[in-house]
């Protein structure tokens, strides 16, 4: 590689990394905990549910409970299991009956408890797990700014990965085995950045590509919609398979002497390992009522095995059947595989733990890159004014990033002690605490103190998370182990392990000083 090409790549890698560093750190830190989003939600609610995507609920009974408050006739009704928790999402479309009242002609969305059929809104059922999941793609910033910002950050991160590999290509193998912790500061940060960056390279590449795809795909497909489909978005999404089929409403009421549960059982007779994720009812109570049951088979049997069956309950006729074991189309493969590899929900707790570790390693790679940038510019030949400016920039970067650790741990304690914590409480506590810690570290003007203190406080607060859970619920982690409360136990153990690692790092930092 020519020196000019090398210098261009090196500087573009550095500039792109520095520009996105803070936002990228927030995305990966929050995203690391998002792998345990469902466990955090169940831990907060003190729920233990079966770890399955299957829509395990009495659908007939749930519809009966809804009929006490809603006129369901003529509506399209969707029950969907979005997460591994004790709630399912329910969407009620507007009634197609021309004689329906105003309330029935309005659509609604809410969550339904699968055990007691209690109804809650999205705001009422908001949790810290949901907050961290949403934070990792910046939805707290008004739509669509947050979505696009996270998408373009992922795109620039992909650019930084490619340029970083090209810059280190010649020495990529030899440098991987080199770590000189007792050498000068820049050498130590560079070795750590290169080695850990290579360890997490496949992980980082996958999440850069899929993150960019999810967040800015609307911008990418907009020209296709306008040119090929002449602005017809409905037709576009229909061809992509994102929309449901249409069945005419005949306005001919029929006796509800059939069971949606039987439709689900009938589908499972086709494929015994089929996990029902969604039940969609068209024209409820009408003679032309149809039920769509879709989901997937076990990932162990087929990684991309999504299927669907549409049944007409009045005749028990199967009008459509998509076999999950048939050859997967290119379109389905692209849609489903990108989601699966991004969410990392197909490999159990082993994959979740590995993804969490690699996510936190990426956070360290980001920080080490920022420190390399600072140390490289902290030289006598650099004007004092510029050196102070560089140090101030990094001080702000570190304060914002490193304070996320104690703030997140403290938030876990707050939502457990203050349960049920609503959306306003979670937003207020997390962001105000984050602001206070960040301002304190910035005013302290000591990067070394920020580093050590954030790790120490985060580890102390983290160790108090299972303590707070034990005091509030009377279920200590050993009780959860004996009672097989896996989701609750996993969060307690997660914080214990993270805190122990934090204390170990803190001890090493103190010794070094």
Which residues, 6 or more positions from 368, have their beta carbon under 8 angstroms from its beta carbon?
189, 192, 193, 196
Q: In which band, very low, low, confident or very high, does the pLDDT at 304 lie, cut at 50, 70 and 90?
A: confident
Per-residue pLDDT at 488 exceeds 60:
yes
Query: When comparing pLDDT for 215 and 236, which is higher?
Result: 215
Q: Band of the pLDDT at 171, cuts 50, 70, 90? A: low
Q: What are phi and psi of 462, to 5 degrees?
A: -60, -40
Q: What is the mean pLDDT of the chain?
A: 87
pLDDT level of residue 308 (50, 70, 90 thresholds):
very high
Average pLDDT over residues 47-60: 90
H helix runs in 241-329, sequence order: 260-270
Question: Do 496 and 463 form a contact (C-beta atoms < 8 A)?
Answer: yes
Name the pLDDT band for 247 (thresholds 50, 70, 90): very high
Is 68's pLDDT higher than 70?
yes
Rg (CA), the chain: 26
Which is it for strands 290-296 and 306-312: parallel, antiparallel or unpaired?
antiparallel
Give the pLDDT confidence score for residue 495 in this predicted structure.
96
Per residue, the 3-state secondary structure of 298-354, as one string, reads: CCCCCCCCEEEEEEECCCCEEEEEECCCCCCCHHHHHHHHHHHHHHCCCCHHHHHHH
- pLDDT, tens digit, for every residue of 185-210? 556 666 667 777 777 888 999 999 99
Banded pLDDT at 175 (limits 50, 70, 90): low
pLDDT at res. 191: 67
Which stretches within 36-184 are classed as H helix? 37-45, 59-67, 128-135, 145-167
For the entire predicted model, the pTM comes to 0.90
Whether the per-residue pLDDT at 376 is higher than 90: the answer is no
């Amino acid at each position: 590689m020519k020196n000019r090409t090398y210098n261009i790549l090196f500087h573009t890698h550095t500039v792109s990394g520095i520009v996105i560093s803070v936002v990228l750190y927030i995305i990966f830190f929050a995203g690391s905990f998002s792998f345990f989003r469902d466990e955090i939600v169940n831990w907060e609610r003190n729920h233990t549910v079966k770890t399955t995507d299957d829509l395990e609920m009495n659908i007939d009974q749930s519809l009966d409970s809804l009929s006490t408050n809603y006129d369901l006739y003529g509506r399209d009704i969707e029950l969907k299991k979005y997460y591994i928790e004790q709630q399912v999402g329910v969407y009620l479309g507007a009634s197609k009956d021309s004689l329906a009242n105003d309330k029935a002609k309005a659509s609604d969305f809410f969550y339904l408890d699968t055990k007691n059929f209690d109804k809650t809104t999205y705001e009422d059922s908001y949790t810290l797990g949901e907050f961290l999941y949403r934070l990792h793609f910046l939805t707290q910033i008004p739509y669509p700014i947050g979505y696009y910002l996270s998408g373009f950050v992922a795109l620039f991160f992909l650019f930084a990965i490619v340029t970083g590999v090209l810059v280190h290509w010649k020495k990529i193998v030899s440098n991987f085995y080199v770590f000189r912790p007792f050498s000068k500061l820049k050498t130590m940060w560079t070795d750590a950045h290169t080695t850990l960056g290579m360890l997490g390279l496949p992980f980082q590449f996958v999440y850069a590509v899929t993150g960019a795809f999810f967040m800015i795909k609307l911008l990418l497909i907009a020209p296709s919609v306008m040119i090929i489909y002449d602005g017809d978005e409905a037709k576009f999404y229909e061809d992509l398979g994102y929309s449901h089929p249409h069945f005419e409403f005949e306005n001919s009421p029929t006796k509800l002497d059939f069971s949606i549960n039987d439709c689900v059982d009938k589908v499972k007779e086709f494929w015994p390992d089929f996990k029902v994720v969604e039940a969609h009812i068209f024209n409820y109570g009408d003679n032309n009522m149809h039920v769509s049951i879709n989901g997937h088979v076990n990932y162990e049997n087929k990684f991309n095995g999504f299927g669907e069956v549409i049944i007409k309950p009045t005749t028990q006729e199967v009008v459509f059947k998509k076999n999950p074991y048939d050859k997967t189309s290119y379109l389905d493969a692209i849609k489903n595989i990108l989601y699966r590899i991004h969410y990392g929900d197909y490999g159990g707790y082993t994959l979740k733990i590995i993804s969490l570790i690699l996510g936190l390693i990426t956070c360290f790679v980001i920080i080490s890159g920022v420190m390399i940038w600072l140390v490289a510019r902290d030289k006598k030949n650099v004007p004092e004014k510029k050196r102070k400016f560089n140090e101030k920039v990094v001080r702000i970067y570190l304060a914002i990033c490193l304070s996320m650790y104690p703030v997140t741990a403290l938030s876990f304690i707050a939502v457990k002690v203050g349960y049920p914590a609503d959306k306003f409480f979670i937003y207020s506590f997390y962001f105000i605490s984050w602001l206070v810690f960040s301002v304190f570290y910035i005013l302290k003007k000591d990067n070394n103190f920020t580093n050590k203190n954030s790790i120490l406080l985060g580890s102390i607060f983290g160790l108090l998370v299972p303590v707070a859970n034990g005091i509030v619920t009377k279920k200590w982690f050993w009780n959860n182990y004996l009672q097989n409360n896996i989701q609750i136990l996993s969060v307690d153990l997660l914080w214990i392990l993270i805190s122990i690692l934090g204390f170990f790092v803190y001890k090493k930092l103190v010794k070094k000083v």
